[in-house]
Each structure stands twice: as C-alpha cells, then as structure tokens.
Amino acid sequence: MLLAILAASVVAGAPQAPPVEPPSQGPREREISVLTYNVRGLPWPVARGRGAALRAIGEELAALRRAGREPDLVLIQEGFRGEVEDLVRASGYAHWARGPGRGDRRAGGLPALPGLLRGEGWGTLAGGGLHVLSDLPIRDVRAAAYSACAGLDCLAAKGVMLVRVRLDDGTEVDVINTHLNARRASRAPKPRTLQAHHRQTDELLAFIADHAAPDRPLVVGGDFNVRNAPDRYEYRAEARPYVVVAEFCHRHAAQCASPHAAQDQPWLKSQDLQAFASPAGVDLRPVGVETLFDGGETPSLSDHAGYLVRYRLSFRGRTPRETGAQVMAAADR
C-alpha cells in the first residue's frame, strides 16, 4: 500500500547507513531522470478543478510508464490536496515520500509587521506541499519548513525535503525538493517577499550542508520562484554547493541536449530549476533536458510545465569532491 511504504521503511532522523561503494565489476555508467513539477494542487476556492487535474497527471505518468519513458523520480510542489494520493496511485510509482507538515515551521521568521498582512499571522493551514515519487528505493527522508515567509505563502509550511535513493548497483543519491516564497502571488510587498526569499535561500543552503552527504551525488530541484528575478537568483550564488542545470547547459550545449540552451540567461526564464553536484568517485552530469505537461505530447495540467532532466553517472575512482566552478572548468576541457 503506497501510504504505508514510507512509514514502514523510512523514519526521518534515523541513523544513516555508511556510504556504499560502487561495485568493482558490472556497469560503470548509468542514467537517472528527474522530473520537477508544480502541480498547482491548491484547495478550493483558491483553484477549481484541481482534483481532476491531479488524477489526470497520475494517468499521464502511467502512460509514460507504459511507453518505458517514466522519470525515475518525480519532485512535486504545491501538492496540498488529498487527491495527490490519487495521482500517486494512478502513476504506478512504488515509493512515495512527503515533505514538512503544517506543524513543522520553526521559530525565527521575519519580524512581524504592524497589523495582519494578507496571510501572515493567520496560522499555518497546510503542509509544505512537497512530494517525491520514486521507482528507486528510498533509504532516508529529511524535511524542514522554512522559518521565514511573506504574505499568503505563510498559510503553508513551504520548505525543503531530502530523499536518499538507492540505485540497483548500490550507489546512493541524495535528492532535494524545495519550494521558495512567491512574489506577486503572495500578495505581500515586493521588498518583503525578497527578504523572505533570501532568508529561505540561507535555510536551503544550511539544510543541504546539514543533511546531504558530501560523498554522494546530489540532485536539487523545485520551484525556486526566480523567473525574471536576478535579485533572487543571484543571492549567495557563490555559496551554492551545486551547479544549476540551465547554466551548465547554456555553457556546454554540446554536452547537454536542451531546447533552451541558446536562450539568454535561460535560468531566469522559469520558476523551476534543477541542479547537481558530483562527489568523490562519481561524475554526475546532465545529458538531456525536456519539458512535459506543456500542451505538446503531454497535456498542460497546471500553470507550470514539468521540467525533466536526464543525468549520467560515471564512476571514475576516488577523487576529491569538486566545487561548482571546478565542474564548469572540467566541462570546458
């Protein structure tokens, strides 16, 4: 039963297994695919018809599965409605993990404003809306709600979650799913939403430092709410322990089949991003990018398209972990 899988096998905060070395024989290279998708699973009356849309998303994922094209992992944002369970059941994914709950927001948010701003001071009415579906076994789950928020976003416990999945050769990969504060949709003043977004970025980087193992490959995805917002995107860029896929593919188009690589600053053309980091012993690189649920081969069922990235993992022996700048420099050679 899907609902019982996580409770039966994964407990947040449980002792972590030691790193698993890749086998000395057998495949030394493989691919994994990750889809990040804001499904607009908002409750009525904020949005209408979303229960049927969520079920349809699950059915489309099942159709991809029948065609042998299903993503290995699906990172969902705005999955606030109970019909997310229908999506999971229809999709056929064996493993399902959920992010922070409505009671998980920590103290230490933004200073209170005089009076009640829209959504602030009303209490947290929903969880984080984060879900991860996986065909790969989930070995561990960590989650945290961001302490800072602005406007209507404060009604949900937006935050970050990590799942650790295990490949069939024993290699483990850490996968981050997150959703950061909106701008106009939050109905809060722009300076306040920027302040909240910066604080959440600080908390995201701290969460990765605390929970993502430096000796495992790392994939980061989610709704970063950075479209046309360089003041959001560039904040603490030098501190990121990962490389943004859109930047990598823009600079190394020959290595990464992406329809958006030639755009000017493609990382600012969407709210949705993915990123990656390579540990010692494994070379992780994006090799293909496409959009799903965009009205083409798959129908548009949300106000976002799905963002799919294929990554290739190649084992290369024990070497020091690379910084983002080193990854870029190596790809230049």
Per-residue confidence of the chain (333 residues) as pLDDT tens digits? Answer: 433 334 333 433 333 444 444 444 444 789 999 999 999 998 766 777 899 999 999 999 999 999 999 999 999 999 999 999 999 999 999 999 999 988 777 667 787 675 677 788 788 889 899 999 999 999 999 999 999 999 999 999 999 999 999 999 899 999 999 999 999 899 899 999 999 999 999 999 999 999 999 999 999 999 999 999 999 999 999 999 999 999 999 998 888 888 877 788 999 999 999 999 998 788 999 999 999 999 998 999 999 999 999 999 998 754 445 556 666 665 555
Closest CA to 146 of 195, 185, 191, 189: 195
Cα distance between residue 285 and residue 220, in whole Å: 13
> What count of residues does the chain have?
333
Q: Which two tokens stand for residue 260?
A: 């958006």
pLDDT at 268: 96
Asked whether 126 and 102 are in contact (CB, 8 A), the reply is yes
Cβ(91)–Cβ(74) below 8 Å: yes
pLDDT of residue 333: 54
How many DSSP H helices and E strands does the chain contain?
7, 12
Q: Is-contact 160 146, C-beta < 8 A?
A: yes
Looking at residue 19, its pLDDT comes to 47
Q: Which amino acid is at 87?
A: L
Please tell me the predicted confidence (pLDDT) of residue 218: 97
Vertex 288 angle, CA 284 and 291, to 5°: 125
Domains of the chain: residue spans and CATH: 30-332 (3.60.10.10)
pTM of the model: 0.86
36: closest CA among 275, 322, 277? 275
pLDDT of residue 165: 98
- Give the side-chain half-sphere CA count within 13 A for 47: 19
120 touches 140 (CB < 8 A): no
